[in-house]
Amino acid sequence: MFIAMNRFQVLPGQEEAFETVWASRDSFLADVPGFVSFHLLRSTGEETHTLYATHTVWQSRAAFEDWTRSEAFRKAHAGAGGNKDLYAGPPKLEFFDAVQEVLPG
């Protein structure tokens, strides 16, 4: 399992506008091989910003890397970098490989 998270510092009061950007975006992810799930996550609000993160789970890092070279990726990111007035700082992209797992049972 591989997780890509992009962390966004959203300015106080811009939370609804930020969520609308994501709700109205076509990610083209649903049919990508190796794609497991995408969630937009909202964390705690702080004085200077509210932390959000996109949280995309892939079957493997290879599946993620294949996607970044695909037409689906290009289309999904055609509008990236806009809406700069929503943010207190630049986004931060983080990658994680699962090294241990516990499941119910």
The residues binding its own copies (CB under 8 A) are 1, 3, 19, 22-23, 27, 29-31, 35-44, 51, 53, 55, 94-105
**Closest distance between its own copies and the C-beta of residue 20, in Å?**
10
Angle at 90 between CA 26 and CA 30, to 5 degrees: 20
**Closest distance between its own copies and the C-beta of residue 51, in Å?**
7
- Residue closer to its own copies, measured from CB, 20 or 74: 20
C-alpha 90/C-alpha 2 separation (Å) is: 23
Token code pair at residue 18 = 């930020």
